[in-house]
Amino acid sequence: MDDIMDVAVVGAGQAGLAVSYLLRRSGVQHVVLERGRIGESWRSQRWDSFYLNTLNWGNGLPGSEFHPGAADAFGSRDQLVSFFERYASSFDLPVRQHTAVTALERLSTGGYALHTEEETLRARAVVLATGGMSRPKVPSMARRLSSEIINLSAGTFRNAEALPNGAVVVVGSGQSGCQIAEELLAAGRRVYVCASRVGRVPRVYRGRDSMDWMRDMGFLEVRIEELKDPSMQYAAQPQVSGTNGGHTVSLQSLARDGATLLGRVLDVEGNILKLGSDLRECVVFADDKAKAFKADIDAFIDREGIQAKAPEPDPGEPALPDLKGSDRLETLDLRSTGVGSVIWCTGFDADWSWVKVDVFDERGRPRQRAGITESPGLYFVGLPWLAKRKSGILYGVSEDAVRIVEHIESHVLALNAG
């Protein structure tokens, strides 16, 4: 099998680049296949004003002393993409851009075949580094929206100026929903926010950023086996923002700034959104999560004898303004309210339809343990909760990549020796 390479990495985002750097450092023959450009998902599926919600000190990659910007700042979409490009260039990583893998199959003789539009490549090991957020996750009911309304997602929204005139409905109040709603309000748009059950954290508490506290408290190091409730690995990331230097966001702050808050969307019929009556429950849920997080920090400070600032008022907890009955609305007529567009901020997921290897459960989720699958030589990197809470953010990629590359070296060396 002279034409078989050692390793093929699929995806040139943070996970794929980290794995490639470690493979090159170890002298392992490999290639990185990217469907578009380096960092393509960050380029094409994030809006123009997108900022990371994690401080730059946690956004580096192995072997590099630089990151998207100042360590105590929040990197923009463009800064992150530029960082990825400089990283790949500085280490001369073997990235083939505009090379989409259309199918991955296991070879009967061992190893894998990667089919692209131009050729078929073979590799002894394959790392799937396309991540768990490669496409917007939009509910099927969105297809029932009237054709008179522009139908977008967090992955296709770009900026307020690109939207048609009129009010905007933002469906979902996670990180993307809150940030997009804030941008639209700042642009003078009338905004309706259909809430979702998402926790929140203050951006700063007792003088330090929430990410600093998470790191020092070991919050990011929690292993998936240590979760008391395994379903928490699928929970949405808490409301918080890295825009405008980083700040706290909440449903209350959106209402304070002029958004009309509504319950979650239950169904769609043309110009009519059917709404739930759970708005106030969503507010309470988010606030309870924030209070629990602050209580954990207080306990940590007391336990460790840390000299910290006194608790400051939470800017995410202004009194909920008069909702004027919006929390009791059962429907929203988009035509009569002048809505011109709906943006579905309902999360992202992964597309594994091209992977023709039996490594997925009945829900389509990868069967893996810390990134290692039961199919010899097939790995995942860059997924949320791959091994720890931090696995799904840039801060956790390096550790996961090191573990996977160590396993690959043993696997590839064993095959080569045979």
Domains of the chain: 5-134+350-417 (3.50.50.60), 137-344 (no CATH)
The total of other beta-carbon atoms located within 10 Å of residue 163's CB is 19
What confidence tens digit (pLDDT) does each residue in 238-261 have? 999 999 999 999 999 999 999 999
Q: Name the burial class of residue 327, with classes exposed (0-12), middle (13-18) and buried (19+) by CB atoms within 10 angstroms of its CB.
A: buried
pLDDT under 70: residue ranges of the chain: 1-2, 413, 415-418
Smallest CA-to-CA distance from 11 within 112, 100, 122 is with 100
Q: Angle 77-90/14-25 helices, nearest 10 degrees?
A: 20
Mapped onto helix, strand or coil, the DSSP state of residue 201 is coil
Strand 265-269 to 272-275 pairing: antiparallel
Backbone angles phi, psi at 215, to 5 degrees: -65, -50
Confidence at residue 233, expressed as pLDDT on a 0 to 100 scale: 87
- State CA 307 to chain mean position distance: 34
Confidence at residue 1, expressed as pLDDT on a 0 to 100 scale: 41
Smallest CA-to-CA distance from 275 within 348, 321, 325, 320 is with 325
Q: What is the largest CA-CA distance in the chain?
A: 73
Sequence-ordered list of residues with C-beta below 8 angstroms from that of 290, at least 6 positions apart, any chain: 199, 200, 201, 202, 250, 314, 316, 317
The CA distance from 8 to 379, in Å, is 11
Predicted TM-score of the model (pTM): 0.94
* 191-194 sheet: strands from edge to edge: 150-153, 339-344, 167-171, 191-194, 260-262
Residue for token pair 């996970």: 15
The CA distance from 305 to 325, in Å, is 47
Token code pair at residue 132? 């768990």
**What does the DSSP assignment read for 295-364?**
HHHHHHHHHHT---PPPPP-TT-PPPPP-TTGGG-SEEETTTTTEEEEEE---EE---TTB-SS-B-TTS
